[in-house]
Amino acid sequence: MLRRRIQRFELRYEMTTELMLERTATGELRETAEISQWQYDADVLDFLTAKGAKNTAGSGLTATG
């Protein structure tokens, strides 16, 4: 769900999440409610991805199974 929503933002704004983060940090892109939601979704996805990698480290499991 998060990945899908992030993809919709990327298509709508015609830029990657990384570029959006750069442009908001420099002030080139104004931080609207929608941009804030995009940033939040990206942060949550990063957190969950890192947590998943940490939980599978050393267990012999991969991120997909």
Collapsing DSSP to helix, strand or coil, 27 comes out as coil
Give this prediction's pTM. 0.78
- Reported residue count of the chain is 65
Say how many Å lie between the first and final Cα of the chain, rounded: 19
| pLDDT value for 53 | 74
Domain extents for the chain? 1-26
Determine the pLDDT at residue 58. Answer: 52
> Could you read off the pLDDT of 19-54 as tens digits, one per residue?
999 999 999 999 999 999 999 999 999 999 998 877
Taking residue 31's Cβ as centre, other Cβ atoms within 10 Å add up to 14
pLDDT confidence tier of residue 62, bands split at 50, 70 and 90: very low
